[in-house]
Structure 1
């Protein structure tokens, strides 16, 4: 399949370090400088967002790197306005690279007279001129069906599996993968298969949103090193309580692997004082100084994965090949135990 003219990257303000890491890796891949497009994304005094692109993008293959994390509304509007600016400048194709897809938790009507905000966001992205979505670990896989354009949903579990094999190489037979709720079983099972470990579930019952009344462990975790797997951690209340329940049921120690570190409110304080030995997050959401300064929190990079996915999209080759170890290990040599 023929490639378009050139891949060009532009970023909003949501996660500049990740965008810059992607451009550095693309520069290495292509053997030429691949910086971010020269542009400004600013706010007027009343908070309105203004975008100006200083380079010619006519006929180019554009990639906008912008997670819609906190502040979700501002970052979403930045993404939409950047897309509109590129469309009006005659870009040939616009791909939105959204490492963290905000509003994904509102993917269905849970009660009468409530919105399906994830579908609304999908409509807005398409209307702005975006022709393809690249994201990671959508909260609900069915969100891909909200779009009538291609959606490539990458997974953090292959990266987590490489890290687990490196960090726990001397006790792989002690590991137990744990889903913190019934809804996340498929995600936890994927990691369990990759590291050949058994699976357990923490079943929780909520009295009201944000409050967990009771937790029950399904499965025998006695003497096991438990790895809790989930797609996001917000206030960390459920996560920390699940870790304590696992220890109370005989687990040897508890670690957590979470794709998106939303980490709102008291989350950092809760994790730092919890019984968890470690919480591993990816950098799809830019970690704060407080997160980086917490001893039991580690950050895994996603730039190698997103860079390769962008290159594959540009070349018209398979993105799903990145789910396989033989493709992933070479771009994650450090996690795989290399130099």
Structure 2
């Protein structure tokens, strides 16, 4: 826990309470008093129950498993704080779901990430802190500062404490994620293999056509930014097994699986799925194949540094020693 700073005001949206409480525990701060009411007709009502006049406030709410309601709620939070005379309002969005809509890649479609960025700015956001955007270019959709944190260092430190490191290969499910897979490999000093994936529509089904790299007799770690259905991970796992791979784990920045995806993973050759708590996912609770690593301390560290007018850049590539110690402890070391 850092030295408590009473001037740091952290509030939580409906699906961000658990994450915000972990941040507060790290910062030695109290969670801001507020309430959210969801009326039976679908309307959302926000009430801030303490003064925030001239305060720098931070509100935690992922745009995750209920993206449309969460986005609208986040906009109402921004507006509420601005109307309550907060000095600045920072939106902490551990998972920015609409970042997938980052381009117009076919006629007559919306660039959804840009629409969301415009809405957040118009509603009053002064800054955004997020993690593992589907495409880093989404930062450029905002005219306000965006701190794009990475789960990679946290996940890599956690993986170092596992018993799968010997003879391990990092596997990218497609060429598009190969650059990030290489960063995993460089951090852990491991080789890389790359899958050749094709997707023909928006039905969340992709197909793995080929694998570049040698995995015979090796342990494999499939890495990706998120998974919605688990289909790509499972296809890659089956191909790895066909190529002679031994143990297979998957590592994700965000986990968006629901019942069907969790069931498919449980029936697949994947031994373990390691992901962050960027989204509070009830569908993986109690599932033995799933392990969760908290990135709330990483966000808390970013908030502390921003609040103290310190640099955040070192968090993009290294893990503070306190977080390393906590990760070692969680791995039983």
Superposition TM-score tier, normalisation by shorter sequence: over 0.9
- Is 1:282 matched with 2:276? yes
Alignment partner of 1:228 out of 222, 240, 247: 222
Which one of the candidate residues 319, 322, 332 is aligned to 1:330?
322
Q: Deviations over 1:231-283 (max 9, x none)?
A: 10101011111111111111111101001011135111011111011000100
What is the Cα-based RMSD across aligned positions, in Å?
1.6
Structure 1 residue 334 displacement after superposition? 3.3
Instruction: Determine whether 1:106 maps to 2:101.
Output: yes
Q: How high is the TM-score relative to the length of structure 1? A: 0.92
What is the CA–CA distance in structure 1 between the aligned matches of 2:89 and 2:208, rounded to whole Å? Answer: 46
Residue number in structure 1 paired with 2:149:
154
Structure-2-length-normalised TM-score = 0.94
- For residues 130-172 of structure 1, the C-alpha deviation after alignment (integer angstroms, 9 at most, x for no partner) is 011100100000000000111001101101110111103xx63
Deviation of residue 108 (structure 1)?
A: 0.4
How is 1:1-339 mapped onto 2 (pairs within 5 angstroms)? 6-27=7-28, 34-168=29-163, 172-209=165-202, 210-288=204-282, 290-325=283-318, 327-336=319-328
| Distance of 1:185 and 1:99 partners within structure 2 | 23
Matches of 2:206 and 2:96, distance apart in 1 = 25
> What's the counterpart of residue 30 of structure 1?
none
Count residues in correspondence. 326
* Paired residues of 1:173 and 1:197 also in contact (CA < 8 A): no
How much does 1:6 deviate? 1.6
1:284-315 CA distances to partner (integer Å, 9 max, x unpaired)? 00021x41211111010111111111101101
Unaligned runs of 5+ in 2: none
CA–CA separation in structure 1 for the residues paired with 2:317 and 2:229: 32
Q: In 2, Cα distance between the equivalents of 1:21 and 1:173? A: 33
For the Cα contact (< 8 Å) 2:166–2:219, is it kept in 1? no
CA distance in 1, matches of 2:128, 2:294: 20
How far off its partner does 1:213 sit?
3.9
Q: 8 Å contact 1:83–1:130 — kept in the other structure?
A: yes
Equivalent-residue separation in structure 1 for 2:165 and 2:42 (angstroms): 51
User: Cα deviations across residues 11-43 of structure 1 (Å, max 9, x unaligned)?
Assistant: 11113111111111111xxxxxx2211111112
CA distance change for structure 1 residues 311 and 189 in 2, over 3 Å: closer, same or farther?
A: same
